[in-house]
Amino acid sequence: MQTMYWLIAFIVLLVIELCTLGLTTIWFAAGALLAFVAGLLGQGTVVQFAVFIVSSLILLVLTRPWAMKHFNTERKKTNLELIKGEHGLVIEEIDGLTGVGRVRVKGQEWAARPAGENRVIPEGREVVVVEIQGVKVLVEEEETTC
């Protein structure tokens, strides 16, 4: 009877994976299926749990990076991933003490403040987006070489 619990776990984990498509529970579903097979072969509970844990972890570590690369190709980047490291132009003076200022990055206007210390970045300067915090971008002044 305990062998059937692995089959139930396999089905539940598979349904969760089909609902989320996050490529997380599929490896544990495979581990549950292998533990079910171990149970059918007459192995005890300890061996079944060992098969479940070891096979799930091995599958997770060895195949998840490959699967994520090939199966999650339609994943959309977030704003942070799209503009982090991008160059922008200060269109309204950025003052770290008052928390005001605006930049234009990739054609979009963002509320901005300086990364790190509280300082002022004058209008017209080029900046680089370091991070997004809430609805503001944290920027650093672009290094100019003469």
For position 67, what pLDDT does the model report? 73
Task: Look up the pTM and report it.
Answer: 0.50
Residues 12 and 60 in one domain: yes
Looking at residue 23, what is its pLDDT?
A: 74
16 or 63: whose pLDDT is higher? Answer: 16
Query: The domain spanning residue 97 has which CATH number?
Result: 2.40.50.140
Based on the domain organization, do 52 and 8 belong to the same domain?
yes
Cα–Cα dist 87/95, whole Å: 18
- pLDDT at residue 41 tops 90: yes
Which runs of E-coded beta strand occur in the chain? 87-95, 100-105, 108-114, 120-121, 126-133, 136-141
How many domains does one find in the chain?
2
Does 87 share its domain with 122?
yes
Predicted pLDDT at 78: 58
* Comparison of pLDDT for 143 and 6, the residue scoring more: 6
Q: Tell whether 66 and 104 lie within a shared domain.
A: no
Longest Cα–Cα distance in the chain: 78
Pair (63, 113) in one structural domain: no
Q: Which domain holds residue 91?
A: 79-141
Calculate mean pLDDT across residues 5-14: 94
Q: Distance between CA atoms of 122 and 27, rounded to whole angstroms?
A: 53
Rounded CA-CA distance 52/102 in Å is: 54
Give Cα 43 distance to the centre of its chain: 38
**DSSP per-residue codes, 77-114:** PPHHHHHTT-EEEEEEEEETTTTEEEEEETTEEEEEEE
